[in-house]
Amino acid sequence: MSNEIEIKLMVQPYDGTAGGSVDGACFIHGMDGVLASLNASVIRTAELELENSYYDTPDLALYRAGIALRVRKTGSETEGTIKTRRMSSGGIHVHPEYNVPLSEKPDVPDLRMFPEHIFAEIDVDAVQKELYENMAQNCRRHIWLVSFMDAEIELSFDRVAYKTSDGGTVAGTELELELKKGGVTALQKFAGELTDAVYAGRIARFRPESLSKMHRAAIYAGISELKLPSGNDIFGKEADSDGACGTEKTFAGLMSATGRIASVIYLGPEGRNEETAKMALDMMWRCFRALAAMQVPADSDIFGQYAELRDILRKRISGLSEEGTSDVMHFHNLADEMAALDGILTDRDFIRVILEINFAGLRGEKA
């Protein structure tokens, strides 16, 4: 077992529609140039076709237990993998991961080839009998393995075609930065320098993503649903936050909510309807206003990072609001409102602060 520590960034055109996908060849060419300009060494590159099959029971017993079961075929190699939950916030994902090499792709994987403690919450025999391949997702992956400081970092650029329940497809492009060797400090510093260079070259825009490819595939396939958090759960506890500890809990709750809400919005019409999108946008602006209005004590561990985030949000909200008010916004249509939100979530400074906040909880961790 190893901890998979990675940053997941959706890749969008530098100038283009919110949530759009980039041209793969152009992005790879731009990344080659960026990596050559950084204080990093590219150890190797590869182009892979990944065939991913996911398994669960009809009532999603594994998913409800926080377990993702996958078989991946890459060329002549086949591997069974289980990932379990630990952390997924602000684009940073940490999953305990268990891998088992397979001689061929099975009809269904045998759960007993994985450590027994993974399945403490489920009846393994019952689940094994009901197990079936409930979805598949293939992607084209370009890999750069990079040496940076004391670390090795694998960059994976994925071009994914998600299958929808009505037989259509949804395209997605994303970049994962996975720590293979070394500490998270190197991963954080590398991510910052890489993002600066990509933005400076107008190659693409990034957006931190908390939703896994497996979960997106399940939503588009009609197997799962991503629901909006409850407004009472997000905003009903603000009055209970006393002192630095209470404030930090409120802050963490708001940050978690914004990530989930953004994931709902960016699913597009194939993954949610327009009414849900409007509700999500209203909730997002309310979260942003709450974050901008918070009074974080100076002795809080998050004071410096929060102050910068607060200033970014205040400036952005002020620029979008009617003169003399901070809570009235008028947009011509849903696309205009999406573009305004996209301008915040893909802002270079916003991304940097979000990553700093989430990396704070991983100090000292290694791959």
For residues 58 and 149, what is the distance between their CA atoms, to the nearest angstrom?
46
Q: In percent, how much of the chain has pLDDT > 70?
A: 89
Backbone φ and ψ for 312, nearest 5 degrees, come out as -60, -45
Q: What is the pTM of this model?
A: 0.85
Look at residue 252 and tell me whether its pLDDT is greater than 90.
no
Judge contact between 82 and 68, C-beta under 8 A: yes
Look at residue 241 and tell me whether its pLDDT is greater than 60.
no
* C-beta neighbour count of 28 within 10 angstroms: 16
Band (306; pLDDT cuts 50, 70, 90): confident
More confident residue, 282 or 240: 282
Q: Which residues pair with 206 in a beta bridge?
A: 11
The helix/strand/coil state of 107 is: coil
Look at residue 239 and tell me whether its pLDDT is greater than 60.
no
DSSP states of 7-75: EEEEEE-SSSSTTPPPPHHHHHHHHHHHHHHSS-EEEEEEEEEEEEEEEE-TT-HHHHTTEEEEEEEET
325-334 mean pLDDT: 73
| Single-letter code of the amino acid located at 128 | Q
Band (364; pLDDT cuts 50, 70, 90): low
For residues 163 and 226, what is the distance between their CA atoms, to the nearest angstrom?
17
Band (197; pLDDT cuts 50, 70, 90): very high
Look at residue 66 and tell me whether its pLDDT is greater than 70.
yes
Band (251; pLDDT cuts 50, 70, 90): confident
Residues contacting residue 22 through CB under 8 Å, at least 6 positions apart: 11, 12, 13, 173, 204
**Residues of the chain by 3-state class (helix, strand, coil), percent to 5:** 40, 30, 30
* C-beta neighbour count of 37 within 10 angstroms: 12
Judge contact between 129 and 47, C-beta under 8 A: no
Radius of gyration of the chain (CA): 21
Q: Lowest mean pLDDT: which of 66-75, 161-170, 297-306?
A: 297-306
Look at residue 87 and tell me whether its pLDDT is greater than 70.
no
Look at residue 38 and tell me whether its pLDDT is greater than 50.
yes
Band (366; pLDDT cuts 50, 70, 90): low
Q: Which of 118, 194, 120, 152 has its CA nearest to residue 44?
A: 152
* pLDDT at residue 89, as a whole number: 59
Give the residue carrying structure tokens 């009074």: 295
Look at residue 205 and tell me whether its pLDDT is greater than 50.
yes
Pairing mode, if any, of strands 77-84 and 87-89? unpaired
Q: In percent, how much of the chain has pLDDT > 90?
A: 55
* pLDDT at residue 318, as a whole number: 84
Structure tokens at 228: 């909006």
